[in-house]
Amino acid sequence: MTPNVTPSDAPLVLIDDRRGTFGPLTDLRAVFELRAGLGTIAERIEAVAGRKATAVAVDPAIAGIVAERGYQTSASEFCKSSEEDVLVVHGRLLTASAARVPHGEIHAAADGTFIAGWLSRELLAKVWDDPSVLRQLPATRTVDARFAATPWDLTTSIAAPGAVLKPTGRGTWIADVASAGELEVGMIARVADDRMPRSALGARVGRVIAIAPIEQVPLARRIEVEPIAEARDATSAVVVLEAGAVPGDAMPSTAASGGRR
């Protein structure tokens, strides 16, 4: 990377590898624009990466339409703009937390599927034209990850684990999550309480900071959530959990829901 560019300043690029079977859902949009839970695949990845995607590699047939939504879709234009490395993420990635990749690394799944990594502009140009090049890149680390391949994969992501948050008296909340779904520290709590105003639904209010098993209920776990915004006066909150966090995010509310992987 050039000396004046840090990884946090570097662009985020999403790659639609044009695989999977989504039928008419992707006739006019890229796969990462499809909803998977409370947000699109792109929004989940952006939350973890801490930056918005500025460029995307998509099927040329829909590049013009996708560009109208604010993305750079021209490889020739984007890849000549500067010399710094870029963070590239697989556009069908459902395990959003896997988008956290240290600068200089490339992560792949056990079967060799590219997950995310830092690429030079020159290499990105090749991937842009032919996404299959991603499978040929040498990975520096193997990571567990899920990818969307059918609409069903997106539907199952919507069933985020839910919980009722209750104050601990020390500035955090706790909740018992009766779900065998994936939980991890860093998940976001979002409002999912129908009693709240519609405008509040989906608002981020906390991050999971601890997870502990509940011996009496094998499949349940107790989570502790740290408020993102000043919502400490809430007596309870119905939430769902999803992966990802936005550094410095603050959205006032009194109930939370969180994302899941």
Q: Are residues 123 and 39 in the same domain?
A: yes
Q: How far apart are CA 55 and CA 94, in angstroms?
A: 19
Q: How far apart are CA 35 and CA 148, in angstroms?
A: 11
Strand 204-213, strand 220-227: pairing? antiparallel
Among residues 153, 185, 211, which one ends one of the domains? 153
| 1 part of a folded domain | no
The answer to whether residues 97 and 186 touch, using CB atoms and an 8 Å cutoff, is yes
In-domain check, residue 190: yes
| Inter-CA distances, 84 with 74, 76, 146, Å | 17, 15, 29
What residues does 190 pair with on adjacent strands?
204, 257
165 with 148, same domain: the answer is no
User: Are 205 and 236 within one domain?
Assistant: yes
Comparison of pLDDT for 32 and 229, the residue scoring more: 32
Specify the pLDDT at position 252.
36
- With respect to residue 16, please indicate whether it lies within any of the assigned structural domains: yes
Q: If you search the block for the tokens 């006019």, which residue do you land on?
A: 28
Is 66 in contact with 58 (CB distance < 8 Å)?
yes
Among candidates 38, 53, 112, which has minimal Cα distance to 261?
Answer: 38
pLDDT reported for residue 138: 92
Of 27-36, 116-125, 241-250, the poorest mean pLDDT is in 241-250
Q: pLDDT at position 250, please? A: 39
Residue 32 lies in a domain: yes
Task: For residue 177, list its beta bridge partners.
Answer: 221
Higher pLDDT, 48 or 257: 48
241 within 8 A of 188, measured Cβ to Cβ: yes
Structure token digits, residue 51: 């930056």
Of the candidate ranges 33-37, 53-57, 92-96, 196-200, the one whose mean pLDDT is the lowest: 196-200
3-state secondary structure of 238: strand
- This prediction has a pTM of 0.62
Q: Which two tokens stand for residue 15?
A: 């790659």
Report the distance separating Cα 8 and Cα 115, nearest Å: 19
Q: Cβ contacts of residue 169 below 8 Å, gap of 6+? A: none
- Report the alpha-carbon distance of residue 122 to residue 133 in Å, rounded: 13
Question: Which residue range is the domain that position 184 belongs to?
Answer: 159-258
Count of domains observed in the chain: 2
What pLDDT is attached to residue 232?
Answer: 46
